[in-house]
Structure 1
Amino acid sequence: LLKHDKVLSKKPPPSHLKAVPDYLLDPVTEEARKIVKLSRAAMPKAGSSRRHHGSKGKFRRSKDPLKTFSAEVLS
């Protein structure tokens, strides 16, 4: 497929436009679509690598430098 081919809209296509008859599909394009589909299936999901942000706030609060600061008195 071409490099500049990208999704034009975030909305899903209408249901009546999803089914394309076989006689309208180019065999080369169909093979490329299968290859792209297999390569995307082999990639990890984008959401699984993200960290949970809920525990991040608790971690920062427990590391308050003013509460953990201890001054040693030199005599």
Structure 2
Amino acid sequence: MTLTEHGPIRYRVAGRLCRPARPTATVQFLMSGFTYDHRYWDSGDRSHVQAAVEAGMATYTVARIGVGVGASARPPTK
């Protein structure tokens, strides 16, 4: 079963890995909610990414497909 009549379509999904200075086994996978884009996690003076890295954890932030100004693909609209 496919979601399109011509088979699967591939889209690029962009992400950004931020790591602390020391090695860590913990990586937080961060994806924004429905009404936000990837900047939600790293904006203003209350950056979750910065706080996590300072606490010794890595983060991987995903720019969802078709949302905001991210580097992920933007599927055509009908």
TM-score exceeds 0.5: no
Larger Rg: 1
Structure (1 or 2) with the greater strand fraction = 2
Q: What's the TM-score once normalised by structure 2's chain length?
A: 0.25
Q: What's the TM-score once normalised by structure 1's chain length?
A: 0.26
Structure (1 or 2) with the greater helix fraction = 1
